[in-house]
Amino acid sequence: MQFGWLRSETFVTPEERVLRDGFSLKGPIMQKLGISHKNLDAKVYSRLKAMILERKLLPGEKIPQEKLAQDLGISRTPLVNALKYLEKEKLVQSIPRRGFFVRLFTKQEMISIFELREVLEGLAARRAALNITGKEIEQLGHFFEVFDGLSDITDIKAYAKEDRRFHGFLLDIGAKEFLKSILDTYNIIIYSYQVISSEGLVQSPNESIQDHLSIIEAVTRRDGEAAEKLMRNHLKKSVAILKESLLEPLLLASGERR
C-alpha cells in the first residue's frame, strides 16, 4: 500500500515504519518525531487503525481529536491527515460540523464483506497449508488450546483476541502482500463489528471453536484443499447468521400485521 503523503526515497507502509522506527503513545519520543511531519502522519495512522482493531475506539463513536492529539503529544494536523486516509479506507467517516466517527457498518454491508472474505481468506488458508514451515506448525498447534475441551466458553474477550491472532497468523503465512492488505482492512471492519457485547464475533465461541480446530488440523497436515473448504464453510456460517438477523425484523413486522 502506498501513501501519497509519505514522500521519501522509498515508499513504505505505516506498519513497516512502525517496526523500523518504533512508536510511543506520548512523551519526548513523539515530540522528536514531530520533526518528520510526514513520517508522523504514518505513525498516527497506524496507531488509530490499531485502536479501532483493539476496540479502543468503538463503531459509531466520535473520535476525540483534542484528547488524542494531547495523548499522542502531537498537533491536530497529523491526526487529521491520518483520519482522512482512514476515511478513504472506509474505517472512519466525517460528518460535517460534527467531526470524525468510527464507521458503523450495516448488516447488509457486513454480509458483503464476509462474502468477499470467504473467497479471499479461503485462498489464504490453502496457501498457508502449502507454505507452512515445521516451526509454524508448532506455533499453530498452540492456538485455542486453553479453550479446547471446555463445554462452555465464557471469556468472550479472550476468545475474540485469540480469534484475531489465529486468522492473522494464517494470513501472514498464506497471503501475498496485496491480498493481505485487502484482508487486513476487511478484518478490522469485522473485528470492530457493532455488536459490542460479542467483542466483534458474529459466531459464538461455542459454535466456532470446532471450526478453528479443524482448520488447524488441515493446515498442519498441509492439506490445502481441505483448509480452503473448511475456512470458507466457517465464514459462510457468519454470513448465514447475519442474513438471518436481517430477516428477523421483517418477519416480526409481518407477524404484527396479521
Q: What is the pLDDT of residues 174-200, one digit of tens each?
A: 987 778 778 777 777 766 554 545 676
Model confidence at 249: pLDDT above 60 = no
- HSE on the CB side for 74, CA within 13 Å? 30
Instruction: Report phi then psi at 62, rounded to 5.
Output: -70, 135
**Better-scored residue on pLDDT, 76 or 33:** 76
Tens-place pLDDT, residues 99-116: 999 988 887 888 888 888
Between CA 195 and CA 136 the distance in angstroms is: 33
**Better-scored residue on pLDDT, 6 or 67:** 67
Stretch 22-37: mean pLDDT, rounded? 43
Stretch 114-119: mean pLDDT, rounded? 88
> pLDDT confidence of 80, banded at 50, 70, 90?
very high
Between CA 211 and CA 191 the distance in angstroms is: 18
Model confidence at 20: pLDDT above 90 = no
pLDDT for the residue 105:
82
Q: What is the DSSP letter of 61?
A: P
Cα distances (angstroms) measured from residue 93 to each of 61, 98, 102, 197, 204: 10, 11, 6, 23, 29
Cα distances (angstroms) measured from residue 243 to each of 109, 186, 213: 11, 18, 25
pLDDT for the residue 68:
92
Q: Which domains does the chain have, with CATH numbers?
A: 14-102 (1.10.10.10), 107-246 (1.20.120.530)
Stretch 89-97: mean pLDDT, rounded? 90
Between CA 106 and CA 153 the distance in angstroms is: 27
Between CA 163 and CA 209 the distance in angstroms is: 9
56, 62 contact by CB (below 8 A): no
Model confidence at 201: pLDDT above 90 = no
Cell numbers placing 31: 515530540
pLDDT for the residue 191:
64
pLDDT for the residue 33:
42
Tens-place pLDDT, residues 215-246: 999 999 999 999 999 999 999 998 898 888 77
**Better-scored residue on pLDDT, 127 or 1:** 127
Amino acid, res. 19: L
Between CA 57 and CA 176 the distance in angstroms is: 29
pTM: predicted TM-score of the whole model, two decimal places: 0.65
Residue with the three cell numbers 484475531 = 164
